[in-house]
Structure 1
Amino acid sequence: MITLERQSILNSEISAADSRLEIFAAMKRVAHEFGFRHITLFAATRADETLLSRMIVETTLPVSYVQEFDRRRLLKLCPVAPIISKSALPYCWSIDDPESVRGFPVPVEMDELQRRYDIITSVAMAVHSIDGGRFMLRFDGVRHRLSQVELNEIGMIVLHAFDVFDKIRRSARTGTAGPLTTRELEVVRWTAQGKTSSEIGRILSLSDHTVNAYMTNAIKKLDCVNRTQLVAKALRLRLIV
């Protein structure tokens, strides 16, 4: 299928999606069209996060792979995240490439695990929600590295798909009466991203006292004892992603 035809068909499917299930189904089609087996949407929750499972919003990766990845605590060894976070462009690499081509070393434990699950070539791209959320879309499978034309194409499709996903996500959150107010959710969301009360205050144009008041209210409403438990529970309840 020629590039323009493929992009038109995939974008039509993405535009027609009106639920998270449908948008992810469309993205699985994108993965298939580009020769990938798996697709994952990650949410960047905390800078010191140690478990991959807590970052996953949607994925087709085997549960056993994620469990072993976390059991070995491989997230702290991952060399890719810093590269992705510094660019708005899709980044492609293969563990079969020499390090000089790939651009980074792959830890032996990660190399072994990925080969066992046929995760050889990957493409990842950082995307951002208009409410400040940071996410990453990643494709994995067994194929040769993408050409620049393919990278450009998949980058445009990812931006379109995430825009649709984000609208669905924010609409669902707005339409569901949750236990926290909009301001409380904003404070919790920024806390999940590792911001201090002072930093959140500057971002939201609030005083430290007001930020702490919102945080205290949220802790009480969700029956938590501290900020760490609050963030974990808010993530589990899907109040924030």
Structure 2
Amino acid sequence: MSVVKVETLERQAALSGAIAAAESQAEVLAALERAAHAFGFTYVTLMVKFNEDDEYMARLIIQSTLPADFVREFDRNRFLAKCPVLPTLFDTMLPQAWTLENLEREGVVPAQITQLLRRFSLFTTVVMPLHSLDGERFLLRFDGKRPPLRQSEVNEFAMISLHAFDVFEKIRRTHRIAIPSPLSMRELEVVRWTAQGKTSVEIGRILSLSDHTVNAHMTNAIKKLDCVNRTQLVAKAIRLGLIA
């Protein structure tokens, strides 16, 4: 057995052990940060899938070690709507990897975004689209300054990501059961149907309520979760595990 293969197996065993031992979301993130460093990356981010009208990355991030200044500048410039790469990442089940050099050479990403990535040394990225048992979509992303990944490393990354997300989901489901929802059952129903793209009138028909009553439940839910609109409400409810 080659030295490289032995080192790979030892790394997998160590990282899998750390992930399996995690008892909280924070510990899962710590294990993923350890995995990031083992692969030569600096940062790790777990984010939920965004809608077309979402404007801020910060509202979609569940856990991340990215510099706060990077996220603030990304959002201040509304780069989420200007980046053609991110939306496509949720349309596949396979890991994706790229380098800043490739993005700049192909010109698929606005220069302002690549300049920001360069300033924070985000030269190489690998992402893994993930799906929960109840259909929610997530993205696990590693960023840093290292050479392009070999295919064997991408495959290894995929295995580690799936294991970590499985542990993360089990903890999240347990947390969801243990902590009572701040929303009433009717408010949760309204938010769930809103997440499915239904209007107040359509939700009223489904639940046999007037659209005025539906809007009242929506307003209450927005206030309880300290949100400013329906889009933010749905995103926050998903992140808190209140809806599937």
1:82 lines up with 2:84 in the alignment: no
Question: Deviation at 1:105?
Answer: 1.4
Q: 2: CA distance between counterparts of 1:124 and 1:79?
A: 15
CA contact (8 A) 2:191 2:218 kept: no
1:157 is matched with which residue? 160
**What residue in structure 1 maps to residue 3 of structure 2?**
none
In the superposition, relative to structure 1, how do residues 50 and 220 fare at CA in structure 2: closer, same or farther (>3 Å)? closer
Residue 215 and residue 150 in structure 1: after superposition, are their counterparts in 2 closer, same or farther (change >3 A)? farther
CA distance, structure 2, for counterparts of residue 98 and residue 238 of structure 1: 34
Whole-angstrom distance in 2 between the partners of 1:19 and 1:92? 28
Among 63, 78, 97, the residue aligned to 2:102: 97
Q: Does the residue aligned with 1:46 lie in a helix, a strand or coil?
A: coil
Are 1:109 and 2:108 counterparts?
Answer: no
Q: 1:29 aligns with which of 31, 34, 37?
A: 34
Aligned equivalents of 2:189, 2:25: Cα separation in 1 = 22
Q: Deviations over 1:107-129 (max 9, x none)?
A: 10001111000011100111011
CA shift, 1:89, in A, is 1.0
Of 56, 60, 64, 1:51 maps to 56
Superposition deviation, residue 238 in structure 1: 3.0
Contact preservation (8 Å) 1:14, 1:164: yes
Are 1:188 and 2:191 matched, yes or no? yes
Kept in 2, the 8 Å contact 1:122–1:140? The answer is: yes
1:133 to 120, 132, 136: 136
Q: Which amino acid aligns with 1:122?
A: T
Distance 1:183 1:140, change over 3 A: farther
Please state if 1:210 is matched with 2:213: no
Deviation per CA, 1:145-179: give whole Å up to 9, x if none.
11110000000110110111011111101110122
Aligned amino acid, residue 121 of structure 1: T
Give the CA deviation at 1:219.
2.5
Distance change >3 Å, CA 186–CA 149, structure 1 → 2: farther
State the one-letter code of the partner of 1:38: Y
Q: CA deviation at 1:74?
A: 0.7
Q: Using the alignment, how far apart are the partners of 1:123 and 1:143 within structure 2?
A: 11
* 1:146 is aligned to 2:149: yes
Match 1:12 to one of 3, 12, 17: 17
Report how far residue 181 of structure 1 moved.
Answer: 5.2
CA contact (8 A) 1:178 1:239 kept: no
Quote the residue 1:219 is aligned against: 218
Distance 2:113 2:242 in 1: 29
Deviations 1:23-75 (A, max 9, x none): 11000001000000001111114232111111111111111111110111111
Distance 1:211 1:139 in 2: 46
Q: 1:211 to 1:65 in 2, by over 3 A?
A: farther
Classify 1:94/1:183 alpha carbon distance in 2 versus 1 (closer, same or farther; 3 Å).
farther
5+ unaligned residues in a row in structure 1: which ranges? 202-206
Kindly report structure 1 stretches of 4+ aligned residues shifted beyond 6 Å.
211-214
3-state DSSP of counterpart to 1:49: coil
> So what's the TM-score if we normalise by structure 2?
0.82
**CA displacement at 1:231 relative to structure 2:** 5.1
